[in-house]
Amino acid sequence: MRTLAATATLLLALTSSFVTAAEPEVRREILGIRLDMTKEEVEKRLKEIGKFVRDERKQQQVWEAKDKSFSHIIVGSEKAGPGLRYVTAVAREDKDAERIRYSDVEKLEAARQAGDPKIKNFNYEWTLPPVKGHPEMLVIARGRDAEFLSTVSLKRIGGGEEDDDEDKPAAPVPPKP
């Protein structure tokens, strides 16, 4: 009887070690905005979640978001193409904000640390291959806090304009006094 119980326990342990939950995939959208959306789809979604603030240089717009975690959304459109070059969300940092951790974006062990934590420059990057109609993209989470991000961006890799100056989002929008 003991041998049977021990065998059953071992079999159960081995079986459960092979049945694991799938790793969560890095989200390929920010507040419902994806890089594969048309300009019209992006504008429709932005109107649902916020209000237009201003046009910026080189095909870029700033929108105020009605969200518990993000205050603003910045989108950069392709000059000639139908889609987005990037979308950036600026985190709310007020007392009522639901702050987003870098680790909420993806596992930090899988990220490339492009900043310098010694000077409080946290910059995590993940490269995502193209999949199911989504372009190859770079996911970037930045901030000065060791735990919580200030901005998160999705940036199209290849296939678009390669002028790095154009791909830099506008400076974060300062909080209202």
Whether the Cβ atoms of residue 140 and residue 26 lie closer than 8 Å to each other: no
Distance of CA 23 to the CA centre of its chain: 17
d(CA 138, CA 49): 24
Where would I find the H helices in 19-165? 39-49, 102-105
Q: Please say whether the dihedral angle defined by the alpha carbons of residues 103, 68, 71 and 96, taken in this order, is positive or negative.
A: negative
Phi then psi for residue 55, to 5 deg, are -90, 140
pLDDT tens, residue by residue, 6-62:
433 333 333 333 333 444 466 899 999 999 999 899 999 999 999 999 998 878 999
pLDDT of residue 27: 81
pLDDT tens, residue by residue, 84-138:
999 999 999 999 999 999 999 999 999 999 889 889 999 999 999 998 878 899 9
Locus of tokens 């950036």: 88
Q: Confidence band (pLDDT; 50, 70, 90) for 172?
A: low
pLDDT of residue 48: 98
pLDDT of residue 4: 44
